[in-house]
Amino acid sequence: MSSDIPKGLMDHAKSRTDAVVEKLQSAMAKIELEIDSNDGIYPVNGGRLSKNEVCRRAKVSPVTLQGPAHRKTTSKTVDEWLQQIRRRMLLAAATVRKTD
């Protein structure tokens, strides 16, 4: 099937996919820095961090992650990152509450 698609079109699609991944990775890195510098609390969006929030920060539509280019790769990577960062946030939030 991909042999019917012109090489230029395939290259363009690949570059768009790569751009989405770069935007998401950059947003996730910024979010981690913000959480680390705010005692484990996400300082934006009322402290709520979700896949939609990551997409908003990356300026990527959440629907993009449901497409065939991202559904089994990028979307799962964001989900795994969210699980990892939420564990760090929960531990930090418990610590913050104890000191009040």
Place 58 in a pLDDT band, splitting at 50, 70 and 90: very high
pLDDT tens, position by position, 2-40? 568 788 877 777 888 899 999 999 999 999 999 999 988
60 closest CA partner among 22, 33, 34, 32: 22
52 closest CA partner among 24, 84, 85, 29: 24
29 closest CA partner among 64, 76, 69, 81: 81
pLDDT tens, position by position, 60-81? 999 999 999 899 999 999 999 9
> What residues have CB less than 8 Å from 66, skipping those under 6 apart?
75
- CA–CA dist 82, 65 (Å, integer): 14
Residue 46 CB burial class (10 angstroms; 0-12, 13-18, ≥19): exposed
Q: How far is residue 49 from each of residues 11, 37, 61, 88, measured CA to CA in Å?
A: 33, 16, 16, 12
